[in-house]
Structure 1
Amino acid sequence: MKYLIKKMLRDVQQNYTQFIAVFLMATISVMIYSGMASVWTGLSSTVKEEVDETNMANLYVSATNITDDDVSDIKDLEEDLEISLICKRSFNTVDGESEIEVNTVNNFDVSKFTLISGETYKEDKEGIYLDKDYAEKHNLNIGDDVYLLNAWGEEVTLTLLGTIHSPEYIYYTGAITETVPNYEKYGYGFVSNNTFLKLNSKINYTLAKITTSSEITDDMLSEILGERFVSVTKRADYTTYSRVEKEVEQMKKMATLFSLVFILLSLLTMYTSMVRLVNRQTQVIGTLKGLGVKSRQIKFHYALYGLITPLLGGLLGLLIGRLTVSKVLLNVKKTTLYLTEWKLVFSASSFILIAIIIICCSMAAVLAVRKVLKSETTDILRGNINQGRVKKELKDKYFLSNFSYEFRLAIRNMSENKVRFIMGIVGVLGGMVLMIAGLGVKDSINGSNDYVFSKQFTYEIKGILKIPGSVLEGEDGLQYLYENSVEIKTDLKDKKTILTALEDGNYYHFYDNDDNEINIKDAGVVVSRHLADELGIKAGNTISIKVNGDDSFKEIKVNAITKTLTPQGIFFSKDALEDAGIKFIPTSFLTDQKDAEYYRNLDEVKNCITREEQLNNTKTVADSVMSVVKLLLLASVMLSVVILYNLGILNYVERIRQYATMKVLGFYMKEIRSISISESIITTLIGWIFGMLIGGAFLKLYVKIISFDTFEWIAIVNLRTYIIATLVVVGVTLVVNILLNKKIKKIVMVEALKSVE
């Protein structure tokens, strides 16, 4: 067996280009997938640990004035149920530049916070515990004073007792107008009951956090709380926490779908490489068999070809992915999420991927050897291996007669080597698909953002009213909105989303799939396309909705589906809302005025944001996606280069004798080069055409999958993307062809034509 090992090492040395190609393909495939998988596995693991350590609630009950008697009645629903009551309210800082959401609790049995620095929490201690990011952004240290305006507009000074983190605030934006965390403007904190009474006249517990293993329904809670009951939310739907699951799911989708394409390309190329490598050693296999080496030893020997190379490549991919891809993605996620610890954990799926690559390569080698070993030793040495039917020579059809001799010879060569021809097409096609998808995602995100903030929204400022139902007296030209959470029930599934009702105005526009504008006043009720697809809603369908605060579902007819990209939800005209029995209570307003500071200083306005600020926030979210796409794009370019170069080298090795024979027969070098170029042009052209067609379809699927629940991106590919993808893929093909032509020129004919008998 040791001689077979020596032979394998010698074969690796002699055929190093093929082995390096297999090694690199395994490395790149594992590097990208495992690097991303380490981030989402580590993120999920860390969040789970924080949830367990803080005893995070799995049920959130909103109601007005929850009492101790209510707590007692809720506890009777289950023996092991734990419950904590929360009162929270946002207070502005004295300088008016930021806002802190202050929490106070009746006990910390459920949803404790994690102390990062400072004193241990005590119920009678006066002061405030602030989230770490807000404190760092405002240069606050333990013992510093925090200045807030209380409910009466008076200045209150609180001592910073500690910095904290709560898993319920992993993704905290502070206002519905913000789409990314902004620690300069928004933070959160916890105080004792006594401290809270300095800020507010009374403590009215409006949120009950519950840990329970039983199913507690709305009806059960409604029976206990009566008309005070508002809603119940599961942990998975709790906004500031559920964002983590959405981020993880998006990473999985991005990595899985994109990686699937180049992993399949890699596997196909590696499989072909191993089969070709074995087939070139037919006489060697016959010699080994003739010398008495057992078949199982020969199979094992060649199985090692497909074991060691991808194994080493896969392990290197794990290491590089951990040091590069994971680090880059981790830094991106830190801009939108906050955790006490960021861990990278190897995913089991990464090792499964390595195993799949090894099995594919090893099985390719074993199956190829097995096919050879079925023949007699003498036949193997003569090269007569299961030839089957003799292929008929390709005749010069009339449609080929007008082409040059070199072109017709290239056609004949491709017809006789269909696998080589198909693999060349697949290599070009795969490179085009990956390039178009990678570049197209950027076009799609930018195009979607432009669509939303130039065509869908035409206001300049969106403001949030401090008291829902109030209006700005003396302000003309405002369009008021009513926004609330709503539960939708369909035959397909139930979902909580956003309801938006609009007064008459010209700042918020709706379009159908053909970009024809929908008049919301005439349509009455419309549903966003992404949500409609998810729930199986079509125009004319009747659905059931329950608005947050209502106690029953209402039957609503959907009159149109709108290509609204964000927000995703259901939209009403004011009249249609009131016809459905739901009161229109203004919660925000739109205006075409540009002086944001003027509206921020109004007593009736809680907060406002400009359209430009919204666009920048959206771009921040998009940048986190694009950083991942750039990694995938880089990997796709590297993989395309490796695959196309490997295919070219394999074609050259297989045809050395043919090229040498042509030189002996008197073919000029330019004629041989012309034949090689003709084959390359035909292969590249076919692969390019299919790549252009499939690339666009793949991009549509990819963009649809990676879209957020709250923002649908639409697939857009401009001419520049097609040109860049074409130049890269075709350029690589031409460079490979030039390199191979140089190799053809250096062929030593004595060695190439030496008898193999």
Structure 2
Amino acid sequence: MVRKTFRDLRKNWISFLSVFLMSFICLFIFTGIFHLSQQMDATGKEFVRDSRLADNVLSVTSFNAEKEQEINKLENVKQVARRSIGRYQTDQFSLTLLTFNHSAISRPQVIRGAKLTDRAGIWLDEDFFQARHYHLGETFLIENTSYEILGTVRQPEFIYHTASEDQPLPNHKKSGYAYLSQQSFEHLRLYPVHQLLVKTKKNSNTPWLEKELADIWAADYLELNQPQDTSGLSIFFDRVTQIQRLAFLFSSLFLLLTLITMEATMRRFVKQQQLQIAVLKAQGFSRRMVLLHYLSFGMIVTLFGASLGCLLGPKLLSPALLTAIGNQFSVPAWLEVRTSLGYLMVAVVTLLNMLITLLPVLPLIGQLSAKIMQKQSNQRFKRVWLEHTKLWTHLPFALQWTLRDIQRNRRRAVLGIFGALGCMLLLIAALGIKDSINFSLDSIFNDTYRYEEKVTFKKPLNAQERTATAETITDYQWLEQQNIKLLKDSEEQAAKATIVSDGNELAVPALDLQDLAANQVGLSGALAKKLKVKPKDTVYIKLQQQIFPVYIKTIVPISSPQGLFFSQAVWENLQQTFEPQSLLLPKKDQLPEMPLIASRNDKQQQFEDSQKLLEGILMIVTLLILAALALGITIMLNCHLLIFSERFIEFATLKVLGFTKREVLSLSFLETSLLTLIGWLLGLPSGWLFLKAYVAMVSTDQQQYLPHITFQSLTLASLVLFGCMLLVQAYLNLRINRIDFATALKPAE
């Protein structure tokens, strides 16, 4: 039986190749994508652990030694350290300057050069250092003061570092960070932010700690943040979660398709070996032995394909994806990881394929040998319901023949439909994700952002400074963005408040900010869905330990920015001072240069930088298209080969009765086309639903992409699908032309 197993595999290798390919693709994609997520997760956690990242960062107006001692005495606090942050801006680059402390909290990792000391020098961000081609010992100028470059560092808070929220992707040549001693920092004319890095005990209560710190610092208290929620680490670990979800999403889909392919292949194979099964039983082979023999086909082919996919996925797919995605993040080195989940998936896929093999085998081996030997053609079929209608007589013979066959073999027809549906679904997802990102970016930069230049200042401006700044311009709009806490069902959710003055440079979809009254606000759709908030609901926000109720006037369908939207009047109605950090201008270079300006952002440049996001997903898009092609050709070929194996007697009979070769081939083509057309029609809504799920997974809390697919992409997906159908039909035509009519019509007896 073992020799027969391998002999049958060798003779029917084309039939089992589809099962091998599908099981290979399933594990190749899963292990490749999941291994990438595990590699990123392990690298990020190791980076955080080595730097002993602070659990909380307290921003205060100024340092106070006595109050710091009070913090150290709190029950849940282990250690406190000082840090100051400022921004240095030139025409060529933007640099975030930080002071280091001699504690181990949030300590940067030195990559090259000297260790951090109080020497009068500077330690540059490693990526910034390389991008601008600096050298150790070289002089670095800040405000006409020379600093020797003593070394380079990496810090986990800057694992995904951009100069501002207006820069969608890291650009290490234009933005970076650096560390100075406290003494060197104080000599610079910056607008510093004073911070206390707080390391707490495990399971500490953050809201209670926030209350204690607010009581200690009183009017000097500004805000308390968790680095993993407010820095690049949040984006990094969000990306890890997205990649894990994608791994399970696509592997689940391909697992389902693998099982369907296996069932179709084994059904066709068992049909071909019907006579051999009867002979084996007649010769005394037990039912168990015959069953194990046919189960071994599913086990061998699936185990080999899945194992090869599990082996190659982490070695080929993961590095390729890491090259496309990993260069956005700044880490010391990507760690190598090992996980046993891939091997577990191999066992699961193999076991499920063996179980699915039972469906066509079990009903047959339970019968007597004489009954098994009866040909399928000897079975009697009832008339289908269409034949009892008046419409039937008006249909052409080819369509009657096709509809009768489909209705009598519904399972086989469903398989053909499902193959076309799955192919169309993956093609829509692949082409649609690119369309969705383009559509979202167009929505942001054409509909929401109507300004041409965004001027950001070194510090928030009070009313007097705003008046002096805007005295030479007429059309403009002030913008303030603040981190707030949203309270829902006794839970706190970090969110961003966007507050604007009168103007038209920032347009929020479905909401006129100037019509907001009292405490009315708009809430972004993604955040509303996350918090399960509806229009006309009342939620509570926390601002510097004060809690205010706000009324959700509408849910805003916006890609970016996310959070709550206030008008200046509503914000001031909540007893908050309007101190914007940015000015939105309808034309470039309206505002003359002044010392308070930190940066100028051209909207067109922002748009071009944002489009680079597409580069990171082109690899996944290509992967999906290739998978869709493999899926479409494999499943449709399997389905129509099953149709051919069950109907080659009918093809031979039609030929003997005088039907021409062209007429016989047209009957096969009609059925193939009809099943593909139905699958295409069902694939359109299914693909759209899958695209929505896919887009939701690649979106983040900061950037929500809007699902969209263009007519051109739908046309291309449809052409690819029907191209696959034509390839399958061309192969079927070869098989039909090679039918030995005498052998096909020979009775089984």
**TM-score range relative to shorter protein:** over 0.9
CA offset at residue 323 of structure 1?
Answer: 4.2
User: Aligned equivalents of 1:55 and 1:208: distance in 2?
Assistant: 11
Does residue 393 (structure 1) correspond to residue 388 (structure 2)? The answer is no
Q: CA offsets per residue over residues 696-741 of structure 1, 9 Å max, x none?
A: 2332333233322222222222221221111111121122112211
CA offset at residue 306 of structure 1?
Answer: 0.9
Query: Which amino acid in structure 1 is aligned with residue 95 of structure 2?
Result: I
- Which of 319, 324, 329 is matched with 1:327 structurally? 319
Q: Name the CA shift for 1:203/1:734 in 2 (closer, same or farther; >3 Å).
A: closer
Q: CA offsets per residue over residues 225-263 of structure 1, 9 Å max, x none?
A: 333222222343132211111111222333433443343
Could you say what secondary structure the match of 1:164 adopts?
strand
Does residue 709 (structure 1) correspond to residue 709 (structure 2)? The answer is no
Residues 32 and 635 of structure 1 are in contact (CA less than 8 Å); yes or no, is this contact kept in structure 2?
no
CA offset at residue 344 of structure 1?
Answer: 5.1
Query: Which amino acid in structure 2 is aligned with residue 500 of structure 1?
Result: T
CA offset at residue 447 of structure 1?
Answer: 1.6
Q: Name the CA shift for 1:520/1:204 in 2 (closer, same or farther; >3 Å).
A: closer
CA offset at residue 118 of structure 1?
Answer: 1.4
Question: Which segment drifts farther, 479-488 or 374-383?
Answer: 374-383
Q: CA offsets per residue over residues 654-687 of structure 1, 9 Å max, x none?
A: 3223322332333322221122122122212211
- Which of 194, 197, 200 is matched with 1:208 structurally? 197
Q: Which residue of 2 aligns with 1:520?
A: 514
TM-score calculated relative to the size of structure 2? 0.92
Could you say what secondary structure the match of 1:732 adopts?
helix
CA offset at residue 183 of structure 1?
Answer: 1.4
Question: Which segment drifts farther, 176-185 or 456-465?
Answer: 176-185
TM-score calculated relative to the size of structure 1? 0.91
- Which of 38, 43, 46 is matched with 1:46 structurally? 43
Q: Which residue of 1 aligns with 2:445?
A: 453
Give runs of aligned pairs for residues 516-665 of structure 1, distance below 5 A.
518-522=512-516, 525-547=521-543, 550-595=544-589, 601-665=593-657
Give runs of aligned pairs for residues 212-611 of structure 1, distance below 5 A.
212-216=201-205, 217=208, 218-343=210-335, 345=337, 347-382=339-374, 391-394=381-384, 395=387, 397-469=389-461, 470-471=465-466, 472-476=469-473, 477-491=475-489, 493-512=491-510, 518-522=512-516, 525-547=521-543, 550-595=544-589, 601-611=593-603
Q: Which residue of 2 aligns with 1:106?
A: 101
Amino-acid identity (%)? 28
CA offset at residue 211 of structure 1?
Answer: 4.2
Question: Which segment drifts farther, 653-662 or 535-544?
Answer: 653-662
Q: Which residue of 2 aligns with 1:182?
A: 171
5+ long unaligned stretches in structure 2: none
Residues 509 and 556 of structure 2 are in contact (CA less than 8 Å); yes or no, is this contact kept in structure 1?
yes
Q: Name the CA shift for 1:537/1:204 in 2 (closer, same or farther; >3 Å).
A: closer
Could you say what secondary structure the match of 1:206 adopts?
strand
CA offset at residue 544 of structure 1?
Answer: 0.9
Query: Which amino acid in structure 1 is aligned with residue 493 of structure 2?
Result: K
Question: Which segment drifts farther, 242-251 or 340-349?
Answer: 340-349
- Which of 687, 691, 694 is matched with 1:695 structurally? 687
CA offset at residue 376 of structure 1?
Answer: 2.9
Q: CA offsets per residue over residues 192-245 of structure 1, 9 Å max, x none?
A: 334334436999842323142141421122233333222222343132211111
Q: Name the CA shift for 1:698/1:334 in 2 (closer, same or farther; >3 Å).
A: closer
User: Aligned equivalents of 2:580 and 2:539: distance in 1?
Assistant: 24
CA offset at residue 754 of structure 1?
Answer: 4.1
Query: Which amino acid in structure 2 is aligned with residue 529 of structure 1?
Result: G
Query: Which amino acid in structure 1 is aligned with residue 452 of structure 2?
Result: E
Q: Name the CA shift for 1:165/1:729 in 2 (closer, same or farther; >3 Å).
A: same
Query: Which amino acid in structure 2 is aligned with residue 485 of structure 1?
Result: N
Q: Name the CA shift for 1:393/1:538 in 2 (closer, same or farther; >3 Å).
A: closer
Q: Name the CA shift for 1:211/1:756 in 2 (closer, same or farther; >3 Å).
A: farther
Q: Name the CA shift for 1:565/1:490 in 2 (closer, same or farther; >3 Å).
A: same
Residues 83 and 109 of structure 1 are in contact (CA less than 8 Å); yes or no, is this contact kept in structure 2?
no
Query: Which amino acid in structure 2 is aligned with residue 316 of structure 1?
Result: L
CA offset at residue 425 of structure 1?
Answer: 0.8
Q: Name the CA shift for 1:622/1:62 in 2 (closer, same or farther; >3 Å).
A: farther
Q: Which residue of 1 aligns with 2:124?
A: 130
Residues 464 and 606 of structure 1 are in contact (CA less than 8 Å); yes or no, is this contact kept in structure 2?
yes
CA offset at residue 462 of structure 1?
Answer: 0.8
Could you say what secondary structure the match of 1:713 adopts?
coil
Question: Which segment drifts farther, 521-530 or 241-250?
Answer: 521-530
Q: Name the CA shift for 1:475/1:254 in 2 (closer, same or farther; >3 Å).
A: farther
Query: Which amino acid in structure 1 is aligned with residue 103 of structure 2?
Result: F
5+ long unaligned stretches in structure 1: 150-154
Please, what is the CA RMSD of the aligned residues? 2.6
Query: Which amino acid in structure 2 is aligned with residue 720 of structure 1?
Result: Q
User: Aligned equivalents of 2:542 and 2:534: distance in 1?
Assistant: 19
CA offset at residue 402 of structure 1?
Answer: 1.0
User: Aligned equivalents of 2:77 and 2:561: distance in 1?
Assistant: 39
Could you say what secondary structure the match of 2:353 adopts?
helix
Give runs of aligned pairs for residues 92-171 of structure 1, distance below 5 A.
92=89, 96-122=91-117, 124-149=118-143, 155-171=144-160
Q: Name the CA shift for 1:84/1:680 in 2 (closer, same or farther; >3 Å).
A: same
Give runs of aligned pairs for residues 671-690 of structure 1, distance below 5 A.
671-690=663-682
Q: Name the CA shift for 1:430/1:117 in 2 (closer, same or farther; >3 Å).
A: same
Q: CA offsets per residue over residues 500-539 of structure 1, 9 Å max, x none?
A: 1111112111222xxxx63533465212222222222222
Could you say what secondary structure the match of 2:394 adopts?
coil
CA offset at residue 405 of structure 1?
Answer: 1.8
Residues 427 and 624 of structure 2 are in contact (CA less than 8 Å); yes or no, is this contact kept in structure 1?
no
Tell me the number of residue pairs that the alignment of Structure 1 and Structure 2 aligns. Answer: 736
Q: Name the CA shift for 1:179/1:201 in 2 (closer, same or farther; >3 Å).
A: closer
Q: Name the CA shift for 1:544/1:274 in 2 (closer, same or farther; >3 Å).
A: same
Residues 62 and 206 of structure 1 are in contact (CA less than 8 Å); yes or no, is this contact kept in structure 2?
yes
User: Aligned equivalents of 1:191 and 1:108: distance in 2?
Assistant: 15
